[in-house]
Structure 1
Amino acid sequence: MAGNSFGQLFRITTFGESHGEAIGVIIDGCPAQLPVDLEYIQSELDKRRPGQSKITTQRKESDTVQILSGIFDGKTTGTPIAMLIPNEDQRSKDYSHNVDVFRPSHADYTYQAKYGIRDHRGGGRSSARETAARVAAGAIAKLLLKTQGIDVVAHVSSVGRINAPNIEISDAQEFIDEREKNIVRCADPATAEEMIAHIDAVRKSGDTVGGKVTCFIKNCPVGLGEPVFDKLHADLGKAMLSINAVHGFEYGSGFEGSEMNGSEHNDLFIKNSKGEIMTRTNFSGGIQGGISNGMPIEFRVAFKPVATIMQSQPTVDSKGNEAEISGKGRHDPCVVPRAVPIVEAMAALVIADHWLRNRNSVLS
């Protein structure tokens, strides 16, 4: 199966299925002598792992990462980094009801049509279980970016029609500390309580709900991104849209910008007290002409409601006969609380890759 690798210089390849022995990732292109904090990598995986709270799936996985290669004496060696995460709590019997029946809005039909075979146990390779490998790789990318003072932070900015107010970030760690005080991972405490109550009510009714994650990239230097096909926002968009259940991506002013006049939308250049060029506003979302301009990069990612609902729905079987299916097993009523570290990881992978590529853009 093609399409399992991402990035050019900082490149990852993930492998494994939801109900296989393990999932994992190989990172190629990470510079040597980067200090690797295993506790930090595990803490990132802990934010994504299942079974965290009443508003997430109750599948119990420790997501304990094993580093098999590429690290010596606590530092990267410049060789491929292999990371493995065993699957510990598979319950394949939970999926015996859909061996020959297609679940609505899942990848069952498309995989069967494309390959002539599919792993019905949790969707196999199409399962969001695969994203744990991305988070592990993204943690390495974030450690690399931290050496340059670049921070990638995100939070849940909406659940259904409940929207958090816009939040300014002065300190990345303070933002993360505030976000982690609640199980929905929203940095606004009052909105978080509303979101949690709504998700819990939806869960009890056997239904699911979508939401949005807003991500900020702080202290990104000017010049990352390529001018035509590898624009920075294009690569960020591809990264986000590769995440399970993502149905939308917008950066800066996004779709609202289409309703503004140019005189309102233009980001006027100024020089700050440090003599640095910046803009009065940031409708560009930190990216102009596909290249970072030094302002904070801000984008939003929209997640659809989880397709598996605990209600009976009409469908068809592999022969096209009418059938009925009802969700079973352990599933998230809303993916966005666990999607926060995935969004951060994919953003970090994009920025790390473009940072490495940009080092060769000017003869020094």
Structure 2
Amino acid sequence: MSTFGTHFRVHTYGESHCLSVGCIVDGVPPGMELTEADIQPQMTRRRPGQSAITTPRNEKDRVEIQSGTEFGVTLGSPIALRVMNENQRKQDYGNKTMDLYPRPSHADWTYLEKYGVKASSGGGRSSARETIGRVAAGAIAEKYLRLAHGVEIVAFTTSVGNEFLFPPTPSHPTASTNPDFLKLLDVIDRETVDKHIPVRCPDAAATKRMEDLIAEYRDRHDSIGGVVTCVIRNCPSGLGEPCFDKLEAMLAHAMLSIPATKGFEIGSGFGGCQVPGSVHNDPFIKATDSAAGRPRLTTKTNNSGGIQGGISNGAPIYFNVAFKPPATIGQAQTTVTYDEEEGVLEAKGRHDPCVVPRAVPIVEAMAALVIIDSLMAQQARQTARSLLPPLKATIPAEKTVVGNSKLQEEMTNGS
């Protein structure tokens, strides 16, 4: 369906060439300062037309808050967010050839099979225009997470085609054992990532190689895929709902719902299968920053990617999302019509030769939506637990309380 989340719920709407796209966000905490200025930066990072290696579709993607705030403060009621489509070109799709053929690797055929009807232009709901609502909602979630818990979420490009930021080696088949990669996860920020537009890979040499590769495929009227890596720092421990809503399962759900995604791996990922358990295990050590609301323990290594048993352990959470080459290319392709007749389709329209650079803020947004929803679930559980008499004969539960120091103090005192 078009709704994501349980406690922090986001419902997106709109097709690629309709009048507007956007979302309704329910569950936003009341009393938080919020204006369009808090949301627009991420919208601008996602927008088309950013460079010569992205789609030339010229959309400003200006977000408008329609409800849920007053005098720049959230009311606790649903927040409606709208972005007008200003540069639709339905004529790119309204020709006889395009009407006859389901585009290869697009959703034209599957949407028609499912609904019996499909949007006549663009990708409809399968278009990346749908992600505007996700990014807008994610910006709201991020602001709350940052203010309430100091959570930082940063995504960046780590590969395009066969060009890698950290290529696998016999010594480091997984980046999780590469000290340079782990150091980058500790310090990377969005300002650094955006210094390397248009690719958003935080290394000048790798950026140049990736940009040249994308331009090469663009000039061939072809496309190429790649990988976005995301790190979540300062995430409270205890988040995740085993057994079926484990935190990494919800992150995978969120990421694989993004258009054009084809893979998800967390922590050591598939490369971790190539190292023994004696290397892969994450021994526990005392946390150096242990304080109110912070875990007492941390791990010496982080092959788990900050999640163990489906629950966050307080270490940085990091994962990779694989994006396929965009389906629409300018080359003629042999395929069949809706009436099963063989023919040749040469697609028209304005499309990215590689979606990876513009996917970065989308990945960040979906990560924020998962974390805030999981956080609200855990806070509800802890509030209910705090009303009970404290247990004396178990490991002190109050030592691992998520976030709220006042709640922790109340639980410690048994009030």
TM-score range, shorter chain: over 0.9
Q: CA deviation at 1:273?
A: 3.1
Alignment equivalent of 1:342, drawn from 352, 362, 365 = 362
Is 1:168 the counterpart of 2:184? The answer is: yes
Q: CA deviation at 1:37?
A: 4.1
Q: TM-score, normalised by structure 1?
A: 0.97
> Which SS does the other structure have where 2:155 is aligned?
strand
1:157 matched to which residue of 2?
158
Flag as ranges the 4+ runs of structure 1 deviating above 4 A: none
2:106 matched to which residue of 1?
106
Alignment equivalent of 1:320, drawn from 340, 345, 354 = 340
Distance in structure 2 (CA, Å) of the matches to 1:256 and 1:120 = 42
Is 1:210 the counterpart of 2:211? The answer is: no
Distance 1:67 1:273, change over 3 A: closer
Deviates more, 1:158-167 or 1:135-144: 158-167
Q: How does 1:31-110 map to 2 (within 5 A)?
A: 31-96=29-94, 97-110=97-110
Distance in structure 2 (CA, Å) of the matches to 1:153 and 1:120 = 36
Contact persistence 2:100–2:338 (CA under 8 A): yes
2:262 matched to which residue of 1?
247
Q: CA deviation at 1:84?
A: 0.5
Question: What is the CA deviation profile of residues 296-355 of structure 1, one whole-angstrom value per residue up to 9, with x for unaligned ones?
Answer: 000000000001111000111111111211121110000000000000000000001011
Is 1:191 the counterpart of 2:211? The answer is: no
Deviates more, 1:287-296 or 1:156-165: 156-165
Question: What is the CA deviation profile of residues 94-146 of structure 1, one whole-angstrom value per residue up to 9, with x for unaligned ones?
Answer: 01232221110000110111111111311111111100111001000100111
Q: CA deviation at 1:170?
A: 3.7
Aligned residue type for 1:107? A
**Percent identity at matched positions?**
52
Contact persistence 2:38–2:140 (CA under 8 A): no
2:322 matched to which residue of 1?
302
Aligned residue type for 1:265? H
Question: What is the CA deviation profile of residues 167-213 of structure 1, one whole-angstrom value per residue up to 9, with x for unaligned ones?
Answer: 523445xx211111121111112111111111111100111000000
Deviates more, 1:5-14 or 1:112-121: 112-121
Question: What is the CA deviation profile of residues 260-309 of structure 1, one whole-angstrom value per residue up to 9, with x for unaligned ones?
Answer: 22211110001133453111110100000000000000000000000111
Contact persistence 2:227–2:320 (CA under 8 A): yes
Alignment equivalent of 2:191, drawn from 172, 177, 183 = 177
> Which SS does the other structure have where 1:168 is aligned?
helix
1:20 matched to which residue of 2?
18
Instruction: Mark the runs of 5 or more structure 1 residues left unpaired by the alignment.
Output: none
2:175 matched to which residue of 1?
none
Contact persistence 1:100–1:318 (CA under 8 A): yes
Distance in structure 2 (CA, Å) of the matches to 1:343 and 1:138 = 9
Larger Rg: 2
Instruction: Mark the runs of 5 or more structure 2 residues left unpaired by the alignment.
Output: 167-180, 291-295, 387-415
- The count of corresponding residues between Structure 1 and Structure 2 is 360
Kindly report the root-mean-square deviation, in angstroms, between the aligned alpha carbons of the 2 structures: 1.1
2:135 matched to which residue of 1?
135
> Which SS does the other structure have where 1:360 is aligned?
helix
Q: TM-score, normalised by structure 2?
A: 0.85
Deviates more, 1:109-118 or 1:4-13: 109-118
Aligned residue type for 1:134? R
Distance in structure 2 (CA, Å) of the matches to 1:188 and 1:66 = 35
> Which SS does the other structure have where 1:26 is aligned?
strand
Distance in structure 1 (CA, Å) of the matches to 2:343 and 2:113 = 18
> Which SS does the other structure have where 1:82 is aligned?
strand
> Which SS does the other structure have where 2:185 is aligned?
coil
Distance in structure 2 (CA, Å) of the matches to 1:186 and 1:40 = 24
Aligned residue type for 1:180? D
